[in-house]
Amino acid sequence: MNGYMANKDDLLKRLKRTEGQVRGIARMVDEDKYCIDILTQVSAATRALEAVALSLLGDHLTHCVAEASAEGGPVAAEKIREANEAIARLVRS
């Protein structure tokens, strides 16, 4: 079972809302709206996706990594490596 299963409905709601924001941004570009207004919406969509990413990361740490740590050995080392790489990708973006 994935660590985010308890939050799946919330994640899907957030993602659908973000999808709507992105469609709205495309519409704004199509309608030649003011650049700063479009950038403001891009920033809001970016923050929304970051919130989803942080939620997934938190679920991964508290479920998958914690479970693997209890097992120990190479499984734990692999989950920690995966988490570190995911955090590095988030920080770079």
pLDDT at 45: 97
Mean pLDDT of 53-70: 92
User: Cα–Cα distance between 46 and 34 in angstroms, integer?
Assistant: 19
pLDDT at 50: 94
Query: Does residue 63 contact residue 7 with C-beta atoms inside 8 Å?
Result: no
Residue 14: half-sphere exposure toward Cβ, Cα within 13 Å:
18
Predicted confidence band of residue 1 (pLDDT cuts 50, 70, 90): low
Task: List, for residues 2-23, the tens digit of each pLDDT value.
Answer: 788 888 999 999 999 999 999 9
Mean pLDDT of 75-81: 93
Task: List, for residues 27-46, the tens digit of each pLDDT value.
Answer: 999 999 999 999 999 999 99
User: Cα–Cα distance between 77 and 48 in angstroms, integer?
Assistant: 30
